[in-house]
Amino acid sequence: MNYLFDPAHWSGADGIPTLIGEHLLYSLIALAVAAIIAVPLGIYIGVTGKGVFMIAGLANALRALPSVGLLILLVLLISPAFPSRMGYVLPSLIVLVLLAVPPILTNTYAGVRAVDAAAVDAAKGMGFRTMKILTDVQLPCSLPLVLSGIRSALLQIISTATIAAYISLGGLGRLLIDGKAQNDYSQMVAGAILVALLALFFDQLLAFITRRVVSPGLTRRTIKPVPAAEPVKTPVTV
Amino acid sequence: MNFEWLGRQFDNIVFLLGWHVLLAVTPLILGLLIALPLGWWAHRSRRIYPLLVGVAGLLYTVPSLALFVLLPLVLGTKILDPLNIVAALTVYTVALLVRVVADALDSVPEDTVQAAKAMGYRGYQSLVKVELPVGVPVICAGLRVAAVSNVSLVSVAALLGIPQLGSLFTQGFQLRFYTPIIAGIVLCVVLAMILDGLIILLNRWLTPWTPKVVAS
């Protein structure tokens, strides 16, 4: 606990606020890239039904891949091509995106699939065009599952970004890896507590956002049970 | 790939594989044994369910490396003790399975429970001989997820210097050498697939009444 409450560790280029900032920066960039890839793709597969076979296989295969091994392999492959720090940042970001895509993709797909067919038919009957059905009916209805996918993806990213400190990425993982190297257990504990708090905070934040943005008509399940909208379980595997 | 190196390191790799299996499978069994009564409790009490599932969700958000480091504070173990890894993965397994077991028991049709009662099964007999067996497919689906993610999570412990297949990754990084890294990844994936397959077989063996073509 000493490390955490020493004011000297709360300022400067390797101070705790800087590390938290770095951790968040990498995490949010990776999440944004993953969402830009996975949400449209998930919608496309959900609406057209093309490429469904990819979904289950992809999610399971990536869960089995050890992220530490993947990370180190990519660093060795990519870093010689980049002389600067990019050689470490880029492979880490690729791995973070790679691990974040499956939960968002599978949940978006499941979300679009679970939209009540009657609601889509009703919209069609009211003269909505395909695009308008998508933006005004299918997307709002699948929002809870899409957000739940983004939530597990963010947890996965925050967790893996910690490990990336081993291949000299910045962020809170530095405290764990440097603490280990210096045999400084209090520094490691400080890092572990901060990472855990960061993950808990963002998990709760996303839960809160989900409650705010999801249409109340969808969550009032006592009135009309929405057909089996089970979130696809994608636990943090790191 | 340097196969000559692999040949020379064969004994060491088998040793690491053995530890990996031990560190991944022990928490799976312990986790299931703890999750069964907890899940049953959540199934029985509507007030306990949100509480247990909520706590499980919170535990699941803690990143593994952080949990590996924090557990010695709770258990009083050394940071290099493999027991920390077993305890941490047991926590994750329980967190995942509590909800699965509760949902599995919830999924047993009320008619089935009534029929068992009418045939004279008492409370615990009905649970052990009727409700749990009917819930086996759901529990096995949860076990498969836990098994596969455990295999991947164990390798994170290499960053703390605990020997298992993940040690091949750190070794390869230090030597700038691809062979151990690729061997480690392949072995991890194969191990995950074998455990996954064993649970599928276990599921079929425990539920002989289901049709042969089971959608996995």
What integer pLDDT is reported at residue A222 of this predicted model?
44
Q: What is the pLDDT of residues A119-132, one digit of tens each?
A: 889 999 999 988 88
Phi/psi at B43 (5° precision): -70, -35
How many structural domains comprise chain A?
A: 1
Q: Is residue A45 part of a domain?
A: yes
Report the 10 Å Cβ neighbour count for A211: 12
Highest mean pLDDT range out of A23-27, A211-215, B56-60? Answer: A23-27
A205 touches chain B (CB under 8 A): no
Task: Give B-chain residues touching A73 at CB under 8 angstroms.
Answer: 178, 181-182, 185
- Rounded to 10 deg, the angle between the B166-175 and B10-44 helix axes is 130
A72 touching B (Cβ < 8 Å): yes
Query: Does the pLDDT at position B21 exceed 50?
Result: yes
Q: What is the ipTM of this complex?
A: 0.85
Q: Which domains does chain B possess?
A: 3-206 (1.10.3720.10)
Q: Which of A14-28, A74-88, B18-32 shows the lowest per-residue confidence on average (mean pLDDT)?
A: A74-88
Closest CA to A58 of A104, A16, A19, A18: A104
Q: Which of B92, B165, B172 sits opposite A72 (nearest CB)?
A: B172
| Cross-chain Cβ contact A66/B61 below 8 Å | no
Q: A154 lies in a domain?
A: yes
For residue B60, the chain A residues in CB contact (below 8 A) are: 155, 235-236
Answer yes or no: do A193 and B185 touch at CB < 8 A: no
Is residue A194 pLDDT above 90, yes or no?
A: yes
Q: Which of A13-17, A112-116, B133-137, B156-160 has the lowest mean pLDDT?
A: A13-17
A76 interfaces chain B, CB cutoff of 8 Å: yes
Distance to chain B for A220, nearest Cα, Å: 18
**Portion of chain A with pLDDT greater than 90, in percent:** 41
B38-50: pLDDT as tens digits: 999 999 888 899 9
Min Cα–Cα distance to chain B from A133, Å: 32
**Percentage with pLDDT > 70 across chain B:** 98
End-to-end CA distance of chain B: 34
Q: Per residue in B187-206, pLDDT tens?
A: 999 999 999 999 999 999 99
Please check whether residue A195 lies inside any domain of the structure. Answer: yes
Is the pLDDT higher at B97 or at A236? B97
Residues A102-122: tens digit of each pLDDT: 899 989 998 998 888 888 899
pLDDT at A63: 78
Range of the domain at A142: 23-218
**Are A113 and A165 spatial neighbours (Cβ–Cβ below 8 Å)?**
no
Which residues of chain B are within 8 Å of residue A237 when distances are taken between CB atoms? 148-149, 152-153
Q: What is the pLDDT of residues B78-124, one digit of tens each?
A: 888 999 999 999 999 999 999 999 999 998 999 999 999 999 998 88
Q: Which residues of A touch B181 (CB under 8 A)?
A: 69, 72-73, 76
Is the pLDDT reported for residue A227 higher than 60? no
Provide the token pair at B120.
Answer: 């004279």
Within a domain: A4:
no
- Give the CB-side neighbour count of residue B69, counting CA atoms within 13 A: 32
Contacts of A233 in chain B (CB under 8 A): 96, 142, 145
Q: Which residue has the tokens 């000493």?
A: A2
Asked if the Cβ–Cβ distance from A191 to B173 is below 8 Å, we say no
- For A198-204, the CB contacts below 8 A with 24+ separation are A198/A20, A198/A23, A198/A24, A198/A158, A198/A172, A199/A155, A199/A158, A199/A159, A199/B61, A199/B62, A199/B63, A199/B66, A200/B58, A200/B61, A200/B62, A202/A154, A202/A155, A202/A158, A203/A151, A203/A154, A203/A155, A203/B57, A203/B58, A203/B61
Task: Look up residue A234 and give its DSSP letter.
Answer: -
From CA B83, how far away is CA B76, in angstroms rounded? 11
The pLDDT, as a whole number, for residue A35 is: 96
In sequence order, what E strands does chain A have? none
Q: Which residue has the higher pLDDT, B154 or A7?
A: B154
Query: For A162, which residue in chain B has the nearest alpha carbon?
Result: B65
Give the CATH number of the domain where residue A153 resides: 1.10.3720.10
Q: How close is the nearest chain B Cα to the Cα of A111, in Å?
A: 20
Torsion of Cα atoms, A157 then B94 then B214 then B107, to 10°: -110
Question: Does residue A10 lie in a domain region?
Answer: no
Percent of chain B with pLDDT over 90: 75
3-class DSSP state of B164:
coil
pLDDT at position A228 is 52
Q: What is the per-residue pLDDT for B215?
A: 53
| pLDDT number for residue A223 | 44
Q: Does residue A227 lie in a domain region?
A: no
A226, pLDDT greater than 60: no
pLDDT of the residue at B38: 95
The distance of B115 to chain A (nearest Cα, Å) reads 27
Residue A61 tokens read as 């295969």
CA-based nearest distance B186→chain A, Å: 9
> Which residues in chain A have Cβ-Cβ distances shorter than 8 Å to B178?
73, 76
